[in-house]
Structure 1
């Protein structure tokens, strides 16, 4: 984000709104030469013109319009985050500045993010290539302007306060908006270097994402894709803080936060599976008591699939098996099934190839109520780039095929 100066962006925003440098100077308290210089520097940085300068005023170019949308969203995120943080801190009318976000610089915000990430002033300074005193000065200035503490000292270092964490989230999301703006302008200029960060839950990573990523690579070979695995809670946190763009996998009901939204793509059903030639394969007279005689591979208790495993036995008033291996690794589960008489409960789509090749076999036992919605989770109000929109459309197409 060293490319952007927040004061220059505010000047750009105001000129775009007013259509005039002279009228904008009255709103942002900068001289006309200073605004003109700021716009010229911004255009040099981006490598394109943002305004058409005519005798009747200043008019946004296509690149300018693209950037303006992202700047508006970024600055609003900073403003709303500042308001929420001030309320959380219980700041009185005499502490700090009312709209303190408008007084902060990019350098200060980068210092805040670095200290939040490292918890240590020396490490934060090393991360940004700055001196330790400069990071201290940035944090002190932010807290003085805001009127409340962003960090609290602990035995392990420095941790964000509740208010500080709220503001940090808005900074991360604002910076992500500006990064997306840079990507969109690069595309307009013919420099196709898109980036996509996807969170993947277990079902998505075995079939859905490989198919979508391969198809996208044919159309957009320069796309850089990062796929992040993890638990639902970790990936949801990454989504809400702008570390990933979208999350693909089993949906949750109800949603734990109101700042994300879900789009169902298809309904998945679970199956009980064992190795080919398993003693229960081909039998049609099975009950929960018989299933309880075998060892199982199951996910951890916080995974929805595990809840179906537990309810299978509780509904039949049969003690659940105790010989369990808990793992969400498909590779490990597959190896355990092939080398023993263990059973697992899993989506058929995750092991479709193994079933087709006759390596694994589905056990004939209906799992009533095992349907679950698979889809994509995004931040509320998310405005994807061209590449991100294409990825989501291809994701819908692949999942529509699964539904058929």
Structure 2
């Protein structure tokens, strides 16, 4: 999750209510809070933000520039939090849950139970279990069940933890946005990267991003598509870069995913410079079957192309070693450069002077849409939006060579 900021949720709801009504007193009545309590809560948040979130005048309370940014994030966070109610039997759970309950459930789910979570956080197991038990009572549904080695989270607990993580990300980013307005950009840039973006596109984008936002440390996570999508849904990643796939979204969140195509990239057969097939014209399928391969896992676009290719014609000779299966680009490149293995790569994966060559063989159905995947309704921060802009620039340049 984003840099830690764990305020009182009632104070956050109060700030949104003040923005909606333009009145401290009306907001207090709306939330069943005393006006002094709400005023103290707002004052505390404004001290933490090092600036006023509201302008006070004869017309009431109006959002400042910082307040506009802060409240936009809070609205998004509370919209996500409302998704907690359908998971449970309480339509108003989003109004009842506390920050302590959210953090306790996330910890217990992430670490598989109360004891390991308590040990990791330095808290007493009883305090975690009590918070989760109170939350279960409010939710009207069991959140933990007896497993082989103690209590384990139920499916409802895992879904609630997802919702809570996404909510907290928006709250954390609200604070980071205000800091950015003051010239101190912070927050998170967590990128899931599929193989088709690993060699050129993402490295070049990050190199351009770093000088503009030296205070942000981007996190790049590789892996299989299903795992990276799960990272988006769990709130561990902000955006996924690579070949677009419109497969069914796992999990029960209602937010869904947005897919943004940026350009179409072709798949080609690659080999090392100096490979026996390098420079040969009109290569045949039977020529390709004489050499070992490096292939990605099942479900990857290049793997589908490979399987379709090798389902045609005669089988490869028994003396040819079986493929190495990996999606780690460094391993793929190392295997290709040090042997006569072949692989199916995207044209955009050929950085200049990388020692790999495209072979003269036309692959069927080899065009793939490359672009971005993120959760519907995502509000990029200023640094995140700039990263996306730079990424678009690199994509455009990549299609020109």
TM-score (norm 2): 0.92
**Equivalent residue of 1:364, what SS?**
coil
CA contact (8 A) 1:51 1:60 kept: yes
* Counterparts of 2:363 and 2:41, CA distance in 1: 64
- Aligned residue pairs total 390
* Counterparts of 1:396 and 1:179, CA distance in 2: 27
After superposition, the C-alpha distances for 1:297-340 in whole angstroms (9 at most, x for unaligned) are 222223220111111132x3332566222222333223322333
Using the TM superposition, give the Cα deviation of residue 25 of structure 1 relative to its aligned residue in structure 2, in angstroms: 1.9
Using the TM superposition, give the Cα deviation of residue 42 of structure 1 relative to its aligned residue in structure 2, in angstroms: 1.5
CA contact (8 A) 2:197 2:348 kept: no
Aligned counterparts, 1:91-130, within 5 A: 91=89, 97-130=90-123
Does residue 47 in structure 1 map to residue 50 in structure 2? yes
**Equivalent residue of 2:198, what SS?**
helix
* Counterparts of 2:249 and 2:259, CA distance in 1: 11
Partner residue, 2:306: 309
Partner residue, 1:67: 70
* Counterparts of 1:56 and 1:347, CA distance in 2: 59
Using the TM superposition, give the Cα deviation of residue 70 of structure 1 relative to its aligned residue in structure 2, in angstroms: 1.1
Aligned counterparts, 1:1-400, within 5 A: 3-79=6-82, 81-86=83-88, 91=89, 97-254=90-247, 256=249, 259-314=256-311, 316-319=312-315, 323-354=322-353, 359-400=355-396
**Equivalent residue of 2:127, what SS?**
helix
* Counterparts of 1:361 and 1:190, CA distance in 2: 46
CA contact (8 A) 1:197 1:246 kept: yes
Structure 1 residues without counterparts, runs of 5 or longer: 92-96
After superposition, the C-alpha distances for 1:183-228 in whole angstroms (9 at most, x for unaligned) are 1100112222343111111121211111101111122222221111
* Counterparts of 2:36 and 2:249, CA distance in 1: 49
CA contact (8 A) 1:295 1:323 kept: yes
* Counterparts of 1:170 and 1:352, CA distance in 2: 40
Using the TM superposition, give the Cα deviation of residue 156 of structure 1 relative to its aligned residue in structure 2, in angstroms: 4.1
* Counterparts of 1:339 and 1:188, CA distance in 2: 50
Point out 4+ residue stretches in structure 1 off by more than 4 angstroms.
none
Bigger CA drift: 196-205 or 251-260?
Answer: 251-260
CA contact (8 A) 2:5 2:175 kept: no
CA contact (8 A) 1:212 1:395 kept: yes
CA contact (8 A) 1:296 1:325 kept: yes
The two structures, once aligned, show a CA RMSD in angstroms of: 1.9
**Equivalent residue of 1:195, what SS?**
coil
Bigger CA drift: 137-146 or 197-206?
Answer: 197-206
Using the TM superposition, give the Cα deviation of residue 68 of structure 1 relative to its aligned residue in structure 2, in angstroms: 1.1
* Counterparts of 1:369 and 1:265, CA distance in 2: 19
* Counterparts of 1:285 and 1:54, CA distance in 2: 78
After superposition, the C-alpha distances for 1:81-101 in whole angstroms (9 at most, x for unaligned) are 222202xxxx4xxxxx54122
Using the TM superposition, give the Cα deviation of residue 254 of structure 1 relative to its aligned residue in structure 2, in angstroms: 4.2
Using the TM superposition, give the Cα deviation of residue 117 of structure 1 relative to its aligned residue in structure 2, in angstroms: 0.7
Residues 1:298 and 1:398: Cα distance change in structure 2 (over 3 Å): same
**Equivalent residue of 2:51, what SS?**
coil
* Counterparts of 2:153 and 2:274, CA distance in 1: 56
CA contact (8 A) 1:298 1:345 kept: yes
